[in-house]
Structure 1
């Protein structure tokens, strides 16, 4: 997945779309789950499911247009770019087997290539965007690598920034020190392996560094991954792995794994507290006499506002609030609820109206985006008529049966935290329209962070 994503991001059009619209920097684990779920649907045996998912992807891609940093237009519906995404998935799958000591037989590889080409047909594209035969594919792949790929910003973010800043998955969110230590050790290694696995002509043309021993390290990593074929299948199934990473420790959950992890965390915290008691930290220095003027409640409120801005509003992680951030919220909610037309368009339109209300109210310097400082200075302006409309539309599309109540099943559809696991309070939770709108407004204005909306839109 990492290798294929890097090759996709090196395509100028795809890289520009990722940088401008994707949530992979701020919410990588959520993006991974959504991508895997989409792939499950696209390669499943059910024709209706594949066609429905293809239609959803086409609607999503049709909304991703713009210009890159060099004023070159990009369009996520470009047939050549979409074919390259399929090509990278196929080529990286074959390469993974080869480097892990399990090269695929020629006949199987040809069948696999035919299945990947069929994905383009399902998406409504001409299969001719990829060569007809496997023998013709390899020259095509080499040509794109040699002539079209670039050292894009999106590719550099993935290779050199994403893993350095990767937030902990929900499973390890309660162990920040352990995660930070492991990330500091693993991130450089992952980057070296990812670079070494890329085609050599592209590494040379893009000026990517290759450290001594990188090829050996990369080969060893792939061979080690290949050994997982000897483990029980249930341990290595991608859905089980992603579901485990998505597990939020909760002593009150109906999932026994969540309760077990919560109990383990509790014991670890008690052990840590005992250690700190036996070995107290040095005393904290006295605050300076010239303390900054922003102190006390005002400072705490400002910090809370900025945290909310970066964790919830800045969905793309670029440091500002723009239309792509609100579009990402609409996209995540539509995916959670598995919306079709016209409900999906209603939700996007409600968010678009909110952006048109927000921008003139909060963008005080007129640069077209809203900074964390501008938001903190005018946070109450978020809860205007357009945001109320967003809440009402979200209620309507969640209330599938039109009962004017969100029942337990509808609650689970919106607030589930993984593929099939329910939230711990879903059995009892219901919402009236007024209660739902009130809670959503309180959350989106940054006034209440204890609602189910927080993990829905703030989770990594």
Structure 2
């Protein structure tokens, strides 16, 4: 192994360990190597998006966007261990995403049943006095649309092989089954429907104290080694640059359109390319017709 390949392997292993945890390799083998029918093949739109390094940007954007719903944020703030165990929560989320995307139908359905059981136990009262339940179809749909919008937009901008218009619709349609399995209804199946659904939620969104605290934690105070803070800072800057303009003031995020369109975008290309290189995950280009047929 040449020195460059050795460095690439070490960096890739470090990133993977943070995302997947100590049991990551075993989980990866179980998810990807288990025999059995799968919902989507390797040429599907969901495979192309979820296997790309742009998911790092999309995931951070999704967390920030999701925090703007006061009831969803209250559930996370009062029940999640994201401050005390942020990597554990990330590892559980990444495992769920991998199982429902790449796993067998049996594994994917089991993962959804587990999350549904957890959701049933999460109830409470938000600071504004409103009750909430993690199993509420309205909140589940919000989390879904914020997540899918973030993943897709990040892939559009920083993916190795962006989808065409039909492929983007296929991605929205293919991911809808997870939201339905978790109890959501009226799930968007096209990009146009996704945009409409996000617009419908806007009157409900606001920057609560918990949301702003979460943004500071994610962007400024992450529990990561000093050596990787510069790279993480660059990644977080890119994620913020992809947030809609109307989210900046509620979350106290900067808004610099010209800089974001030039320097930050170039930095985003650099950091996602570096992550892709480190993980050795440069997905081959696929035909969008295959992605459409996979659903």
Q: Determine if the alignment matches structure 1 residue 78 to structure 2 residue 124.
A: no
Answer whether contact 1:3 1:194 (CA < 8 A) is retained.
Answer: yes
- CA change 1:216–1:148 in 2 (3 A) is farther
- CA change 1:225–1:187 in 2 (3 A) is closer
Q: Determine if the alignment matches structure 1 residue 200 to structure 2 residue 245.
A: yes
In structure 1, what is the equivalent of residue 28 of structure 2? none
In structure 1, what is the equivalent of residue 54 of structure 2? none
Deviation at 1:204, TM superposition (A): 4.7
- CA change 1:158–1:219 in 2 (3 A) is farther
Cα distance in structure 2, aligned partners of 1:65 and 1:108:
37
Deviation at 1:207, TM superposition (A): 5.2
Q: Determine if the alignment matches structure 1 residue 115 to structure 2 residue 212.
A: no
Answer whether contact 2:66 2:143 (CA < 8 A) is retained.
Answer: yes
Residue correspondences, number: 222
The structure whose RCO (Cα within 8 Å, separation 6+) is larger is: 2
In structure 2, what is the equivalent of residue 157 of structure 1? 213
217, 221, 226: which one aligns with 1:180: 226
C-alpha RMSD of the superposition: 2.7
Cα distance in structure 2, aligned partners of 1:188 and 1:222:
11
Deviation at 1:210, TM superposition (A): 2.2
Deviation at 1:189, TM superposition (A): 4.7
> Normalising by the residue count of structure 2, what TM-score does the alignment of the two structures yield?
0.66
- CA change 1:31–1:66 in 2 (3 A) is same
Cα distance in structure 2, aligned partners of 1:201 and 1:114:
27
In structure 2, what is the equivalent of residue 235 of structure 1? 280
Answer whether contact 1:159 1:191 (CA < 8 A) is retained.
Answer: no
In structure 1, what is the equivalent of residue 81 of structure 2? 23
Gaps of 5+ in 1: 169-178, 238-460
- CA change 1:27–1:227 in 2 (3 A) is same
Deviation at 1:188, TM superposition (A): 5.5
Cα distance in structure 2, aligned partners of 1:187 and 1:158:
16
Gaps of 5+ in 2: 1-58, 283-295
In structure 2, what is the equivalent of residue 52 of structure 1? 110
In structure 2, what is the equivalent of residue 213 of structure 1? 259
Q: Write out per-residue CA displacement over residues 311-352 of structure 1, whole angstroms, 9 at most, x where no aligned residue.
A: xxxxxxxxxxxxxxxxxxxxxxxxxxxxxxxxxxxxxxxxxx
- CA change 1:108–1:205 in 2 (3 A) is same
Cα distance in structure 1, aligned partners of 2:281 and 2:191:
29
> Normalising by the residue count of structure 1, what TM-score does the alignment of the two structures yield?
0.44
- The structure that has the greater radius of gyration is 1
Determine helix, strand or coil for the equivalent of 1:77. coil
